[in-house]
């Protein structure tokens, strides 16, 4: 029996299956090493949430057509390239429970693979004359790079306040989900107001998505990533930022010191986790997540009722209710 995302994607299951085949064809290369690496990547694909947003958005804004497949492929290529490059930047050797590309083939090859994916995205968009979709995805790539640099700049001193936090996640996480929705809409309609609506919708869902990820770090239940990993990596998340803002000066100094100088000490990490749990940090972040969800619903309900709009609503609920 289908559950979760499988149940949500049923109305576009056939389109997603066709997309997967086309996407694999897009990645074919005459270079055997590249073929081997792309095969490894495709076999370990994630939840396919971005293609789902693209296809549902297209369906809700006029209908899925051949351009929708190009849009979904372009966004997925950009997303995959960003993950490969992120693993190099973060010196991460694992991705979704498997070895990352840089772990298996080293940094030089990983960077080149990420570049290849970006170039393939540009090629298929130009070959199919998808200039508006290319513009949407290029803006997202720019935002991804700027968001990463902003986070690096601010993280050195752990001086990320709420305003900076939301700007970072808008660029790093939300920009690509926003592009998924806008690109899907652009494949079905030329109406700029609709494209802006879908981009804003995707951005709000992307922000809610990242806040949910933040909350996993402090969860008491079994979730898909280890607890305290953000603290170990010295990332300033919304629950932590709010807890620090409410703390006494001495508490704040101690927690900042724990994160800056003792993030590899499990006892100190647990102390920070307890500090956030015992403050209003978690409830504050949850309220922000639900606020962005409700704002996304309001934008979505500006579209005519349809099964595709229902699918997008279910995806929104999945984003905020998921447990990994």
pLDDT confidence bin for 2, thresholds 50/70/90 = very low
Residue 256 and residue 158 in contact, taking contact as beta carbons nearer than 8 Å: yes
Return the pLDDT at 73.
92
Query: So what's the pLDDT on residue 166?
Result: 94
State how far the Cα of 45 lies from the Cα of 5, in Å rounded to an integer: 14
Question: For the chain, what percent of residues have pLDDT higher than 70?
Answer: 94
pLDDT of residue 228: 67
CA distance 156 to 150: 10
pLDDT of 261 > 90? The answer is: no
Domain coordinates in residue numbering, the chain: 4-321
Mean pLDDT of 27-47: 81
pLDDT of 1 over the 80 cut: no
Give CA–CA dist 10/248, Å, rounded: 51
C-alpha 291: how far from chain center: 19
- Is the pLDDT higher at 15 or at 268? 15
Higher pLDDT, 99 or 202: 202
pLDDT confidence bin for 139, thresholds 50/70/90:
very high
Residue 63, pLDDT score: 93
pLDDT higher for 94 or 130?
130
6, pLDDT greater than 90: no
- pLDDT at residue number 230: 75
Average pLDDT on 26-44 reads 83
Q: What is the per-residue pLDDT for 226?
A: 54
Answer whether 175's CB lies under 8 Å from 148's CB: no
Q: Between 130 and 160, whose confidence is greater?
A: 130
Residue 56 pLDDT exceeds 90: yes
- Give the mean pLDDT of 211-238: 73
Contact 172, 178 (CB under 8 A): no
Is it the case that residue 221 has pLDDT exceeding 70? no
Residue 87: the pLDDT is 78
**Torsion angle defined by CA atoms of residues 225, 231, 235 and 238, in that order, rounded to the nearest 10 degrees:** 80
Q: Which segments within 34-109 are labelled E, that is strand?
A: 94-95, 98-99
What band does 14 get if pLDDT is binned at 50, 70 and 90?
Answer: very high
What pLDDT was estimated at residue 315?
Answer: 93
Task: Count the neighbouring beta carbons within 10 Å of the beta carbon of residue 96.
Answer: 11
Taking all residues of the chain, what is their mean pLDDT, rounded to a whole number? Answer: 87
* CATH of the domain spanning 4-321: 1.10.600.10
Residue 83's nearest CA partner among 55, 111, 48 is 111
Residue appearing with tokens 């609503």: 313
Distances (CA, A) of 167 to 62, 139, 203: 32, 15, 11
CB 285 within 8 A of CB 239: yes
pLDDT in tens, 97-128: 677 788 778 888 888 888 888 899 899 999 98
Condensed to tens digits (0 to 9), the pLDDT of residues 275-293 reads: 888 888 899 999 999 999 9
Q: What are 291-320's pLDDT values in tens digits? A: 999 999 999 999 999 999 999 999 999 989
* Higher per-residue confidence, 190 vs 230: 190
Instruction: Spell out the residues 6+ positions from residue 228 whose beta carbon is closer than 8 angstroms to its own.
Output: 217, 266, 269, 270, 272, 273
Q: Which of 52, 36, 8, 154 is nearest to 104 (CA)?
A: 36
Q: What angle do CA 75, 79, 80 make, to 5 degrees?
A: 120
Rounded CA-CA distance 126/147 in Å is 26
Tens digits of residue pLDDT in 227-253: 667 777 778 889 999 998 888 888 888
Q: What is the pLDDT of residue 272?
A: 87
């Amino acid at each position: 029996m289908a559950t979760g995302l499988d149940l949500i994607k049923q109305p576009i299951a056939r389109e997603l299956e066709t997309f997967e085949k086309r996407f694999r064809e897009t990645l074919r290369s005459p270079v055997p090493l590249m073929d081997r690496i792309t095969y490894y990547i495709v076999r370990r694909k994630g939840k396919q949430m971005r293609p789902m947003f693209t296809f549902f958005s297209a369906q809700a804004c006029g209908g899925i057509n051949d351009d929708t497949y190009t849009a979904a492929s372009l966004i997925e290529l950009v997303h995959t390239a960003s993950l490969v490059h992120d693993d190099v930047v973060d010196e991460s050797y694992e991705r979704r429970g498997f070895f990352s590309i840089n772990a298996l083939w080293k940094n030089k090859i990983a960077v080149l693979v990420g570049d290849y994916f970006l170039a393939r995205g540009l090629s298929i968009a130009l070959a199919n004359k998808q200039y508006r979709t290319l513009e949407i995805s290029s803006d997202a790539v720019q935002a991804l790079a700027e968001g990463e640099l902003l986070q690096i700049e601010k993280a050195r001193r752990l001086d990320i306040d709420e305003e900076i936090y939301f700007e970072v996640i808008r660029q790093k996480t939300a920009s690509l989900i926003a592009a998924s929705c806008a690109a899907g809409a652009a494949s079905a309609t030329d109406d700029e107001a609709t494209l802006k609506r879908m981009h804003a919708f995707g951005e709000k869902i992307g922000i809610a998505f990242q806040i949910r990820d933040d909350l996993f770090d402090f969860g008491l239940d079994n979730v898909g990533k280890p607890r305290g990993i953000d603290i170990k990596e010295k990332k300033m998340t919304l629950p932590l930022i709010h807890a620090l803002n409410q703390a006494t000066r001495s508490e704040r100094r101690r927690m900042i010191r724990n994160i800056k100088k003792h993030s590899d000490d499990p006892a100190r990490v647990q102390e920070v986790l307890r500090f956030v749990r015992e403050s209003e940090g978690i409830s504050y972040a949850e309220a922000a997540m639900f606020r962005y969800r409700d704002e996304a619903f309001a934008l979505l309900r500006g579209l005519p009722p349809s099964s595709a709009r229902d699918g997008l609503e279910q995806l929104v609920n999945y984003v905020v209710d998921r447990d990994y």
